[in-house]
Amino acid sequence: MKLSDTQTNLLTAAAQHPEHLLTDFPANLKGGARLKVLTSLANANLIAAHSQAEDGSTQFAITDEGRSALGIAVEAKASPVKREGTKQATLIELLQRQEGVTLEQMVQATGWQQHYADVLVMPTNISNSACVVEHAALRSA
C-alpha cells in the first residue's frame, strides 16, 4: 500500500509515541476524512484498536506492520525457551503424549506430593479428561 503524506505523518508520530498511539491528527482531518484514513490504515493492518479514550472514542495504535511500512525495524518476538531436564519440561512432555498423563504418573515423574500435582488439575472440569490435560498443559507452559 502506498501511504499518503497524511498517513505517513500519522504513523510516524504513532511510532514515536510512548504507547504507539495515533494522537497527532492534523486540524483539517475531521469527520469522514479522518474515518477514511483510519479505515484504510486498519484494513491494511497498519493500525489496530488499542483502547477507549475518556470521551468513549476508540484509540488506535500502530502495529508491527505499520512500523515496517515506515521502514522501522521490528524486533523479533522472543520465543519461549524450553528448559531441558526440569520438572516442568518433564511434565510438558507427559502432557503432550497422545494418551495424556495420569495424576499418579505426574507424581512419579516429578517427585511431587500427590496433593501438589493435583493442584494443576483441580480447577478444571474433572469429568472431561481432555479439559484436565489441556488445563494442566496451559498452567505449566
Domain spans of the chain?
Answer: 5-69, 87-140
| DSSP, res 71 | T
111-133 mean pLDDT: 64
pLDDT score, position 34: 86
Is the pLDDT higher at 91 or at 10? 10
- Whether 35 shows a pLDDT value over 60: the answer reads yes
pLDDT score, position 27: 86
pLDDT score, position 120: 67
Is the pLDDT higher at 43 or at 122? 43
Q: Which residues pair with 49 in a beta bridge?
A: 60
B/e letters for 44-76, b = 16+ CB within 10 Å, e = fewer, are eebbeebeeeeeeeeebbbbbebbebeeeeeee
* Fold exhibited by the domain 5-69: Arc Repressor Mutant, subunit A (1.10.10)
Give the pLDDT confidence of 12-34 residue by residue, as tens digits. Answer: 999 999 889 888 888 888 888 88
Other Cβ atoms less than 10 A from the Cβ of 22: the count is: 21
- Whether 130 shows a pLDDT value over 60: the answer reads no
C-alpha to C-alpha distances, 35 to 42, 59, 88, nearest whole angstrom: 10, 12, 49
pLDDT score, position 12: 92
- What is the model's pTM? 0.53
Give the pLDDT confidence of 67-117 residue by residue, as tens digits. Answer: 988 888 877 777 777 778 888 888 888 888 888 888 888 889 888 888 777
